[in-house]
Amino acid sequence: MERRYRAVEADDKVEDHTTQRTVQMPLRHTHHPAPEDASMTFRNGLDSLLRPEDSVLVLIDHQPYQLSNLNSHDPHMVVNNTTGLAKAAKVFGVPTILTSVLEARGGKIFPHVTDVFPDQPVIDRTFINTWEDRKVVDAVKATGRKQLIIAGLWTEICVAMPVIQALGEGWDVTVITDACGAVTPEAHQVAIQRMIAAGANMMTWLALAAEWQRDWARMDTALALNDVIKYHAAGSGIAFLWEQQLLNTPVPAN
């Protein structure tokens, strides 16, 4: 005989066969949707994509001391990806704030990054949490942008703290994970999970550049972005160069 089951509802009377008595089921927890203005909302729809005119980039503590104990990624790749990210921001005219912590002890930000913005001063801090440094926050606010993009070393400390604080203050925050790094792979992954739980968006630098570009018909940035991709997107860059070589190779006459 086919048995049909249904979910037990609150206040149902259910027979307990172990004691031969009827028991009252406790009230269930009811799901209450979060209000529309709550910070933990789904990130979807066209308006959720990142736009150059609304973006501001903060690069945090890409310094020798942090790089020397970077074990979550190949250090060469972090330098490459951070440089690609910085160059992409310049292509799209995205304001970029450079900040270090205790530069005199930890070393200067990688020249690969500062050379992209040769006339821009680096904001040196004592705060571990960048978002507690008024100079940095004021510089970000002065841009008038609302899409806050952050990358830095280390993920679990100097990235996680400002991201979580900024989210609590209502900023739309994206972390560029492959321009970050941590002392261990676990530290990097746990930090990412922590920031996602707080409401942050996660991307990689090339995905961000593509989202900023959005349409290859936008020729004012397409060619300059391709130059960045050629030198910092590894296989994609080499494939592009190869494609150009083939297109420019005359077809042999029969």
CA angle centred on 211, ends 207 and 216, rounded to 5°: 110
**Predicted pLDDT at 70:** 97
158 is catalytic: yes
Catalytic residue among 89, 158, 160, 180: 158
Fold of 53-212: Rossmann fold (3.40.50)
- Regarding predicted confidence, which is higher, 80 or 23? 80
SS3 176: strand
pLDDT per position as a tens digit, 69-110 = 999 999 999 999 999 999 999 999 999 999 999 999 999 999
pTM of the predicted model over 0.75: yes
The rounded distance, in Å, linking the Cα atoms of 117 and 86 is 9
Q: Find the helix or strand (DSSP H, E) in which 56 lies.
A: strand 55-60
Domain residues of the chain, as ranges?
Answer: 53-212, 215-244
